[in-house]
Amino acid sequence: MRRKGRLLSSAVVFAVLLTAGPGTGLAQRQAASATPFGKPAADVPNPGVNNRAVRAARPVGYQDQTRSEVLARNGIAATSNPLATAAAERVLLKGGNAIDAAVAASATLGVVEPMSTGMGGDLFAIVWSAKDRKLYSLASSGWAPRAWTADYFTDTLGLDEVPGSGINSAVVPGTVSGWDALLKRFGSMGFKDVLEPAASYAEQGFPLHERMHGQWRSAANALSRDADSARTWLPGGKAPDLYSVFRNPEMAHTLRLIQKKGRDAFYKGEIARAIVAKSEAAGGVMALDDLAKYQSEWVTPLSAEYHGYEVHQLPPPGQGFAALEMLNVLDVCAPVLGLDLAQLGPRDPRYWHLLIEAKKLAYSDLHRHNADPKFAAPPLDRLLSKEYAATLCDRIDPDRATPVEVEGSDMGSTVYFATADRWGNMVSLVNSNYSDFGSKVTIPGHGFVLANRGAGFTLEENHPNVVEPRKRPFITIIASFITKDRQPVMAFGNMGGGTQPQAHAQHIINMIDLGMNVQATTDVARFDHSQDDDVTDLDTYLFDLVGPKLQEMGHQVDRARGHAGGYQGILFEPDPRLPRPILPTGDGPRTGEAYERPVNGVYRAGSDPRKDGHAGGW
């Protein structure tokens, strides 16, 4: 009876609430959120900023790890956007290899993350070839137009530096040439198959994720200054809303042209003519010949040994050698200073002090020497030797910060991702527009921006990186690979301008010295030191822990959130009990044991929560 009474009372109360008018029961009830389910409101474009909940802890392992590593044996990808990861998986599921999947991911990222990368940008890659059992490195960064000289900028344009945006910041794009070079040397598919996911997304539209939406909004004012950019990227005069669907039919047209006509459509055909016409209209000097003669280059990777592992980077004009020099300094100088990174650990301010000081030394050499080696080759044999690192130890005070010797720019907007397949091929690839939406100059009828990589040049006379015709500028993007005893261990990278070499070194230390797994290394706090103003950003919780002590040691430190770029990584864990994969031969059907037997081990992948993406495999 009492149970029925309670039910009756509840029903009566509910009925009263339903019929209550203003000023009665309903008016006193708590209102629902103004942004239910996290849906944006007009005055709250990203409702996540109002979330004051306490973060959860994992039940196993490192409690602040955002998620488990992704494990797979048949194929795997880790990118900064879920749609790009899906595109890579789609190609792998069709029987494509890691190289095919990498080009598919790169093209898709140019569609769904257009502020960071695209056909108007630059590309570098390191490929582990399962057939050859060795590493190959591809450099596909663009060169300056033939008319670019220091006098062109100082006398003709009246400038004292190469601009950071506009048509005179844009070099010849390297991305499409890089796709072509990768597919021709290692791919099993052509443009028709690997560009299909990207072309479909451009035609049908794609939804905007949180991080991408924030970058898009930040770039809106700059985009509005170019009529073609405003028309393409700012529908209705503003950046698309969070979760809204954005279409780019002109980019779809461009991808379809490349599917049909290949690389030449971009460098010699309709697209090249459109690039030159836009350049002329915007006051630039890029010529058809600048595009037609451009070629990617297969280069020899740089390497350094760190605690039994070989760390590989691409050569200049990329900044990868700074990561290797930083690791050498830490390897050689920590014992000299009586310090051990593993014993100190990341809760000790001295740990961060040593890393920051090593970074300053490596980046001073970077900005002193880095340039296109065809014009001014940096002395890498000396800079990357352990003997040279030993000469730097007395320039590190174990108790006090030292000033930066050589300053340098730190800006950048980039994508990095990794792919791997069932045959053991692995790809480490980085692709970039430099700043958000690059030069902010959009090619009409083709829906992509030109990168502003020309801003990497200097006009300083006699500097190795001074602008010259057909020279490639100092470029921040780098891809990395780790081997041990000449066997593949890991493809990884960390996007973010000047962040990249210092972040690479931090990941190496996290995983090799501190024993972190492939996901945990990116879930922990990182520092990001600016060589430009000598200020070190620390993740907000790390700032609370060690910031005051580092300030006492003479460091300028700032609290930061979501800084230090974005990491992706894939590690291969071989299992000697398993049979080796059967490599496919010929151009026959993608069926049979070669397409069914998984790799002889496990791939372990991680992805940075600072970005929108994730790892995926099967």
* pLDDT one-digit tens code per residue, 339-364: 999 999 999 999 999 999 999 999 99
- Chain mean pLDDT for the chain: 94
Q: 25 or 185: which carries more pLDDT confidence?
A: 185
Confidence of residue 4 (pLDDT cuts 50, 70, 90): very low
pLDDT band at 9 (very low <50, low <70, confident <90, very high): very low
Q: What is the pLDDT of residue 10?
A: 47
Would you give the end-to-end CA distance of the chain in angstroms? 57
Place of tokens 């930061």: 560
In the predicted structure, residue 102 carries a pLDDT above the cut 90 = yes
Distance CA 37, CA 245 (A): 18
Do strands 297-299 and 527-529 pair parallel, antiparallel, or not at all (unpaired)? unpaired
Q: In the predicted model, what is the mean pLDDT of residues 572-600?
A: 93
Reading the block at residue 311, the tokens are: 């760390």
Domains of the chain: 70-299+409-617 (3.60.20.40)
Q: DSSP code of 594?
A: G
Q: What is the pLDDT of residue 609?
A: 95
**DSSP string of 359-402?**
HHHHHHHHHHH-S-TTTS---HHHHTSHHHHHHTGGG--SSS--
Average pLDDT over residues 262-274: 98
Read off the pLDDT band of 35 (50, 70, 90).
Answer: confident
Q: Which residues are catalytic?
A: 414
Collect all residues with Cβ–Cβ distance below 8 Å to 553 and sequence separation of at least 6.
349, 353, 399, 400, 401
**Given a cut of 70, is residue 113 above it in pLDDT?**
yes
Average pLDDT score over residue span 267-279: 98
Average pLDDT over residues 472-483: 97
Angle, alpha carbons 560-563-566 (nearest 5°)? 160
Q: What is the pLDDT of residue 54?
A: 84
Q: Which of 2-16, 230-244, 309-323 has the lowest mean pLDDT?
A: 2-16
Best-predicted range by mean pLDDT (39-43, 48-52, 125-129): 125-129
Query: Among candidates 48, 78, 10, which has minimal Cα distance to 518?
Result: 78
Mean pLDDT of 402-425: 90
**Structure confidence at residue 28 as a pLDDT band (50, 70, 90):** low
Q: Is 123 exposed, middle or buried (0-12, 13-18, 19+ CB in 10 A)?
A: buried
Banded pLDDT at 2 (limits 50, 70, 90) = very low
pLDDT at residue 500, rounded to an integer: 96
User: Using CA atoms in the order 397, 399, 400, 405, what is the torsion angle rounded to 10 degrees?
Assistant: 30
pLDDT over threshold 80, residue 29: no
Q: Where is average pLDDT lowest: 96-100, 217-221, 410-414?
A: 410-414
Six-digit token pair at 141? Answer: 């960064």
Instruction: Note the pLDDT of residue 46.
Output: 86
CA 354 – CA 337 distance, rounded (Å): 10
Instruction: Name residue, tokens 């796709």.
Output: 179
Least confident among 23-37, 131-145, 183-197, 435-449? 23-37
> Average pLDDT in the 531-554 region?
97
Rounded Cα distance, 548 and 561, in Å? 17
Q: pLDDT-derived band of residue 11, with 50, 70 and 90 as boundaries?
A: very low
Pull the structure tokens for residue 195.
């560009």
- 234-258 pLDDT per residue, tens: 999 999 999 999 999 999 999 999 9
Q: What is the band of 52 on the pLDDT scale with cuts at 50, 70, 90?
A: confident
- Peptide linkage before 317 cis (omega within 30 of 0): yes
Report how far Cα 577 is from the mean position of its chain's Cα atoms: 35
Q: Which amino acid is at 610?
A: R
Task: Over range 322-347, report the average pLDDT.
Answer: 97
Q: What is the pLDDT of residue 304?
A: 98
Going by C-beta distance under 8 Å and a sequence separation of 6 or more, which residues neighbour residue 536?
356, 527, 528, 529, 530, 550, 555, 556, 557, 558
Contacts of residue 486, defined as CB under 8 A and 6 or more positions apart, other chains included, come to 133, 134, 310
Give the number of other Cβ atoms within 10 Å of residue 258's Cβ: 24
Which sign does the torsion angle of CA 468, 471, 474, 476 carry? positive
Q: Average pLDDT, stretch 459-467?
A: 96
Q: Minimum mean pLDDT among 33-42, 264-273, 398-407: which range?
A: 33-42
pLDDT for 55 equals 83
Identify the band that residue 19 occupies on the pLDDT scale cut at 50, 70 and 90. very low
Query: Using one digit for the tens of pLDDT, what is the confidence trace for 138-177?
Result: 999 999 999 999 999 999 999 999 999 999 999 999 999 9
